[in-house]
């Protein structure tokens, strides 16, 4: 029996984006193709990747295998990628996109986001890819004076060229969204942000949704992904899977904590992009819409908000995006 279709959000450009996707961050190169292929068989259609994740070739292999076997068509798959910080200069934007398209083995991406509102010095692809924090000078951070609007205008041209269907931003605060609106011809379709009970960002989400931007949450399980990276803040923060409030709500609804966390975002009108290596979790992470959290559940979860951000560029080089 085929998996049931995942509900979709209609973006502000009229295109549709699945409300539940499969996150490709930290998918290992040796397993990524199989994981993506298996996720497609489990009913996932949105794959959230990025140049910085270093696995777009493998993600592309998994998608291509599913297409070649007739499981899906390219048009049924929604591929998201993100422009990394070293490629913000307009003359480098298309170079980076072309690398992504080649790696993913496609002619266009469905959604291309500016990963961070930060412009690092350009590093040629043949020198190091993905460059990560490398800016061409050892361990030193080196920046370029490239306004966000210039990068955005380059993306708009690539939409018109047919290489990108929708454009958006990631890790942008409200002030930068407001500024981008003043100069953009094509409005951002999507805002992707860190979002979990420890970092709820209600005003940012309210503003984005008010102006017609669809919000996608990453790190829906809070510190979980960052514990795996031995990050200090995450290691010192109680996991949401074991938090008494989340466990109590899960028990009340006969669900597991992961389903409560994903449903909490979904009921706020937010898309989610969880990932899992386990087949049973693949199904669980896309089938959490069969129950409703109550007003009381929301009130209890709202008390967990402590503005705790795990993905903060201040930790890299005192970059003041969220200060």
CB 38 within 8 A of CB 68: no
Is 218 among the residues known to form the active site? no
Catalytic residue among 53, 129, 134, 218: 53
- For residue 86, give Cα distances in angstroms to 27, 51, 52, 118, 238: 22, 11, 10, 9, 34
C-alpha count within 13 angstroms, C-beta hemisphere, residue 204: 23
Contacts of 43 (CB under 8 A, 6+ apart): 2, 3, 4, 5, 6, 283, 286
Count of helices and strands (H, E) across the chain: 13, 10
Q: What angle do CA 251, 301, 279 make, to 5 degrees?
A: 50
For residues 118 and 312, give the distance between their C-alpha atoms in angstroms, rounded to a whole number: 12
Q: What is the dihedral of CA 164, 321, 269, 49, to 10 degrees?
A: 40
For residues 291 and 215, give the distance between their C-alpha atoms in angstroms, rounded to a whole number: 21
Q: Is 115 annotated as a binding residue?
A: yes
For residues 54 and 130, give the distance between their C-alpha atoms in angstroms, rounded to a whole number: 6
Where is the binding site for substrate, in residues? 115
Active site residues: 53
């Amino acid at each position: 029996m085929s998996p049931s279709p995942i509900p979709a959000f209609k973006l502000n450009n009229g295109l549709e984006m699945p409300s539940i996707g499969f996150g490709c961050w930290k998918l290992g190169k040796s397993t990524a193709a199989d994981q993506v292929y298996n996720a497609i068989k489990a009913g996932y259609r949105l794959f959230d990747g990025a140049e910085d994740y270093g696995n777009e070739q493998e993600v592309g292999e998994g998608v291509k295998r599913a297409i070649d076997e007739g499981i899906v068509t390219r048009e049924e798959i929604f591929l998201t990628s993100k422009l990394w910080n070293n490629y913000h200069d307009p003359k480098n934007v298309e170079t980076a996109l072309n690398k992504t398209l080649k790696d993913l083995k496609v002619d266009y991406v469905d959604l291309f986001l500016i990963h961070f509102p930060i412009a690092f010095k350009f590093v040629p692809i043949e020198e190091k890819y993905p460059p990560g924090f490398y800016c061409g000078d050892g361990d030193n951070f080196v920046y370029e004076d490239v306004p966000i609007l210039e990068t955005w205008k380059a993306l708009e041209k690539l939409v018109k060229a047919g290489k990108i269907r929708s454009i958006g931003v990631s890790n942008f605060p409200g002030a930068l969204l407001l500024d981008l609106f003043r100069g953009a011809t094509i409005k951002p379709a999507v805002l992707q942000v860190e979002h979990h009970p420890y970092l709820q960002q209600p005003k940012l989400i309210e503003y984005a949704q008010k102006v017609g931007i669809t919000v996608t949450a990453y790190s829906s399980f809070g510190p979980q992904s960052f514990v795996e990276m031995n990050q200090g803040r995450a290691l010192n923060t109680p996991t949401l899977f074991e938090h008494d409030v989340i466990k109590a709500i899960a028990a009340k609804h006969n669900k597991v904590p992961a389903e409560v966390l994903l449903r909490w975002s979904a009921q706020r009108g937010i898309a989610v992009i969880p990932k899992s290596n386990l087949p049973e979790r693949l199904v669980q992470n896309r089938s959490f819409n069969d129950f409703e959290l109550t007003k009381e559940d929301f009130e209890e979860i709202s008390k967990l908000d402590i503005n705790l951000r795990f993905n903060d560029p201040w930790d890299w080089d005192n970059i003041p995006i969220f200060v």
